[in-house]
Chain A
Amino acid sequence: MIRRIAVVLIALGAAFWAAPGARAQSNAYWFYVTAESADEVYLIRFADGKAEVAEKIDVGYQPTEIEGPHGLTVSPDGEHWYLTMAHGKPFGILYKYSTATNRVVGECELGLFPATMQISKSTGLLYCVNFDLHGDMSPSTVSIVDPEEMGEVARVTTGPMPHGSRLSPDGRFHYSCAMMSGELFEIDAAEMRLTRVLDLDANVPRMVAPHMSHDPAEHEHAEHEGHDDHGADAHAEHGQAKEHQGHGAEHEGHVGQDEHAGHEGMHHAKSKPTWVYPHPTKQVVYVAMNGADQIAEVDLKTFKIVRRFETGKGPYNVEVSPDGTRLVATYKSEGAIGIWDVEGGRELARIPTTRKVSHGVVISPDSRYAFVSNEGIGGEHGTVDVFDLNTNEKVSTVEIGLQAGGIYFWKQEPIDRVGAAAMSKEKKLALLKGRAEGLWNARVAGDWEGTYKYHFPAGSVTTLLQWLQGRGSIAYHEFQIESVELTGEDTAEVTVSYRWEMVNPILTAKLKSPPVQEAQDVVHPWHFADGNWYRDVQSLADRIQQGREKRGR
């Protein structure tokens, strides 16, 4: 009964949010997405039902070669984003960028084809799989990196072609899959060692004794030869060892037929797992089994598959909504996504994506939207589709560069919808005067970063980096706000007098007038948005055009 009431309440809530004219959306959502064949990363902003490219960031250091930006993550404090580049010379590189400027602030070399990654809330370290997609059929590793100082601190060997690198909500355990061996790996984040392995094809778990997993370099092979080592923990799966051994023998048969076989005991897994995602509150993880067209729910207590979701073709990435109710999976071979009711294990909707190869998915912190990257084929540009998880509909698409891939959420910001009409004239004018003084104080102080917030509401499409470009040629010495005046309900004019000086040495060399000049009664237009006043930004093109008009040309 309670559940029914809850469902009704949720439905009513959803109806309210979706109702025309209501506050259909009060947030701006920001996320990064890679274009793997263009060596680009895009910062996307989704607000008011529309996704837009806020900034394109060129990445990599070998411009005429495809380096392949693949994985993305954002630090828990939101101040930095991290990018893995698949191909280097030959090792891939982990880059650290500032979210304020989208500029590189650090880097370190990892293994072959570093891919997906995340930062642990518990250790503060970053865990990144070295996918080694094009390497031999031998076990690869998870690199553990200090993301503050950008140095690799450890490597833990897992399986061949590890992918999908996610941490438990508390950050204590790291999960990844090996595509080729069909295994799910659990690493203790602080101990930096492998603790459990699940053979997804056979649904047989095994424990890994501490000494088997400590130094990855020394024990690279031992871990994969130690299938009979179940450690000291008398787990339930111990009793299934026989079944496992039997299956192992079956795998030996695979090895004999496998032209790739270069590692003892290695085989092509049927499950071909590509992603793993822990449930935000429950002790389960969800594994995209790309080769089996299934998503497996693995119970972390028994470390065994307890449910299987039959999906569309080639499930690739999967994410569970922060509220734990929805699971969204990309069906890479089908060009679609599936939206699942986690509790009931039902696929609520299967929706085609705007490109035939769907790739990554992230869900907003409010569990409202899923953002899905789609690769495209050949010269076809990639896209990002936005799906409303309340209505199970695609609500927006934005085109980006070639082969859209890794995607990671940055921030969700409320857009304050307090209307201009809700504020008294006096309060509005007082607010405007304070804002104008704030702006001019920042100008006089040369604090160009500080002036940014007086021009752009939170969630604006102009980044700080774009704003800062070209600033600093003029120094402002002193100012006087002469008047503030409303020109409409949400527009105003600020009249200001000030002294200024051209300080750019190239420009000052050409100056005929004195270096310090006075400007009297200059009128600047302002507008009211999201509950505050912002100075109108006038582009250089507009200024030139205005000048021409003024001169009658």
Chain B
Amino acid sequence: MNRSLRRVLPWLAILWLACGAATVQAQVVAKKGDRLLQVSPGEATLKAGDSVQLEAKVTNLQGDAQDTQIFFFTRDRHLIDVTPEGLVTAKSPGQARVTARTAGARDERLSINITIQVAYPPLEKIEFLSPPHRIYAGATVTLETRAVLEGGMEHDALEVSLRSATPQTAEVDPFGHLTALAPGSFTIIASAEGQEAELSGQVLANPVAEIVLSCPTRLARTGDVLQFEAEALTPAGATVENAPIQYSLFSQPDDALGNAATGQIRADGRFVAQKAGQYTILASCGTASDRYTVKIVPRDIEGKLELIGRGQVQDVHTSDLWVWEGVDGRDYAVTGTWGADGDAIFWDVTDPSNIERISSVRVDARTVNDVKVSEDGRLCIISREGASNRRNGIVLIDVENPREPKIISTYDENLTGGVHNLFIYRNHVYALSAGRRYDIINIEDPKNPHTVGKFELEEDGHSIHDVWVEDGIAYSSNWRHGVQMVDVGNGIKGGTPENPVRIGEYAYPSGWNHAAFPYKDKVTGKFYIIAGDEAFPYGLNLTEKPTYPRGWIHFIDFTDPENPEEVARYEVPEAGTHNLWVEDDLLYVAYYNGGVRVVDISGDLMGDLYHQGREIAWYLPTDHEGVVPNAPMTWGPQPHKGHIFFSDWNSGLWAVKLEMKDQRSIGQ
């Protein structure tokens, strides 16, 4: 090498480094000015549990070491642990970055990333889940597999391919649908990363020669759930048990224009129509099939909500309401206020056409989000948020005479973070604490409330929004952890207020669970928890323009609390749900910008109730002098003695009455 080249080479190397941090197998280097930060190894691949010590040094361009503090950190703490001294320990598979950085002034600080690849453990096995070993020819079943890594971890993302080793008897498509073609043995091979698993079984001659499809009726309304039964018979007319039946339908809706889905049928033969018309249900097994046609007529339960009276609140936002019969036999309501002075407002609603504001109580709070009254009508409890001393909690108010409400006591023990919602049940208050849990507070002596129990989820990142208690069971709404059903005195799980015991739970993907209300249908005996969402994808406008929330009502069949199933929804397009109430097979929903809605939920429920025509009536509360003018933002409904009272965030308290188009009862 000539002398000139020898001179130039180091500078070429530095130039190469100066073009940015360069990753080499052994080390990575960062350069700033005449200083270099070198870290080795420059990258590493580890298995979970393995460690590597990163070494770093700072030198000048000549390679002389400099005394500079270097520290390490990572943002990928779910994948690796890193000490400030550079000891990396792998935790979970994935690609992580470690940053090595020098301490010092910003313009002199050197920083570089080291990539740590945490490899998945080797694939140990592939398993078929609930594998079928005997299939009738002509039937199709769906296969599911699971990839298990060494150490027992599942690898959900690993692609497992399926093929049939016996194509003459069975075939399988890329989606795992196994179709039995002809009698004989079959073998399906699942493979990934060099591992294979075999599923072997027999395709049996299909004994089903005939399908007899039946339904209890030929005529039903939109929204009525019909149970179809398909009986599989041998050529001799004997019943074939457990024959795999597949259902499908085709429809001839009366209105053929613009319909999307007009009906649906489930694998268990339950059918519901959204549109009126003729529906033909097909049931098949192998080559045998049958059909059954039903006529669906409009549900025709139209009603109207007539405005009866108002209690205007136009200077501040209104929150929740409670309506009750007072000890004097008159009817009263209390409403909270939001983002304001900490007022609870009391109303005489005995004559809903002449709602009278009779008194108010002011507490140190910005928001009195929730207001509740005890079963005996003597005690009102309100929640506090935004207290100036940051000690929020609840306020107990004597409302024997709602015209002169008197504060009995305040209680903030472990509730200082704010009480967003509460519920009164049998001398106990169930009060949310800082959105993390609910505390159960004994109020037998309202002057001396004391906490006797609490319920808090253990899941990481848990939170809670609301709680409702009925028949000794607390139904809480826990955002992404969904609806929680807890025994607080019912006895089903031996729970008490002092020792609440979880009964069941159901969460849905959106994580919007905001409210919950229990409902048992008298005809079917099914028990539902009706869960409401809250979502503001387009924000909340406080004063100048309307808000456009989103969300819907989820119907979760909790008849078997161990195996809850979401079966139906009620979703008003381009609006968002808030609070709800159920009485006599009617669902009342405060649908924020969609006003208040009344929905027929009688009978079995399945599918999309809105499009099935189960909505009976709606009312949009508009007030040109509201906090946001002419912008419905309905907060909460409550039926009471034949009227429906509801609070509206922008305009206060309203009373409406449901007038049906005809006198036919809802369930008929």
Which A residues fall within an 8 A CB radius of B? 36-38, 58, 61-66, 76-77, 87-91, 109, 113, 121-125, 133-134, 144, 146, 149, 151-154, 172, 189-193, 214-215, 357, 375-379, 402-403
Contacts and interface: CB of A to CB of B under 8 A. Distances in A.
B664 to A, nearest CB: 38
Contacts of A378: 341-342, 362, 364-366, 388
A152 B105 CA distance: 21
A122 B110 CA distance: 11
B539 A192 contact: no
A90 B106 contact: no
Nearest to B547: A63
A90 B463 contact: yes
A4 to B, nearest CB: 37
A113 B435 CA distance: 12
Contact of A191 (B77, B84, B366, B420): B84
B360 to A, nearest CB: 13
B502 interface: no
B261 to A, nearest CB: 33
B240 to A, nearest CB: 51
Contacts of A146: 73, 75, 99
Contact of A124 (B101, B341, B435, B480): B101
A88 B434 CA distance: 9
Given A190-B84, A192-B84, A122 B103 contact: yes
Given A38-B339, A191-B84, A149 B435 contact: no
Please report whether the interface of chain B is mostly helix, strand, loop or mixed according to DSSP: loop
Nearest to B365: A378
Contact of A122 (B104, B367, B435, B479): B104
22 contacts: A63-B540, A64-B536, A66-B386, A87-B435, A90-B435, A90-B436, A90-B463, A113-B417, A121-B105, A134-B418, A151-B75, A153-B74, A154-B73, A190-B69, A191-B84, A193-B84, A215-B83, A357-B388, A377-B364, A402-B339, A403-B366, A403-B386
Contacts of A193: 84
Contacts of B366: 37-38, 66, 378-379, 402-403
Contacts of B414: 134
Contact of A87 (B84, B342, B417, B534): B417
A94 B414 CA distance: 25
A214 B85 CA distance: 10
Contacts of B81: 215
A190 B71 contact: yes
Given A89-B461, A113-B417, 10 more contacts: A63-B539, A90-B436, A90-B462, A91-B461, A121-B105, A123-B71, A125-B73, A134-B414, A214-B83, A379-B342
B555 interface: no
Interface residues of B, number: 52
A63 B103 contact: no
B390 interface: yes
B347 interface: no
A89 B386 contact: no
A88 B463 contact: yes
B96 to A, nearest CB: 11
A64 B416 contact: no
A90 to B, nearest CB: 4
B511 to A, nearest CB: 8
A134 B73 contact: no
Given A90-B463, A192-B73, A403 B434 contact: no
Given A66-B385, A122-B104, A375-B388, A152 B365 contact: no
Contacts of A87: 417-418, 434-435
Contacts of B476: none
Please report whether the interface of chain A is mostly helix, strand, loop or mixed according to DSSP: loop
Contacts of A66: 339, 366-367, 385-386, 418
Contacts of B104: 122
B338 interface: yes
A25 B435 CA distance: 47
Contacts of A153: 73-75, 77
A40 to B, nearest CB: 10
B393 to A, nearest CB: 10
Contacts of B76: 151
A134 B539 contact: no
Interface in B312-328: 316
A66 B388 CA distance: 13
B251 interface: no
A133 B77 contact: no
Closest 10 CB pairs of A and B: A151-B75, A134-B417, A63-B540, A379-B341, A89-B463, A37-B386, A153-B73, A377-B388, A37-B366, A190-B71
A512 B84 CA distance: 67
A64 B99 contact: no
Interface string B458-480: 00011100000000000000011
A77 B435 CA distance: 36
Contact of B103 (A88, A152, A189): A189
B109 interface: yes
A90 B461 contact: yes
A217 to B, nearest CB: 9
Nearest to A62: B536
A149 B81 CA distance: 18
Contacts of A154: 73, 84
Contact of A172 (B103, B365, B385): B103
B206 interface: no
Nearest to B82: A153
B75 A152 contact: yes
Nearest to B534: A64
Looking at A64, A77, A144, A151, the one whose CB has the most chain B CB atoms below 10 A away is A64
B463 A58 contact: no
B482 to A, nearest CB: 13
B106 A124 contact: yes
Contacts of A121: 105-106
B69 A134 contact: no
B540 A191 contact: no
B66 to A, nearest CB: 16
B46 to A, nearest CB: 18
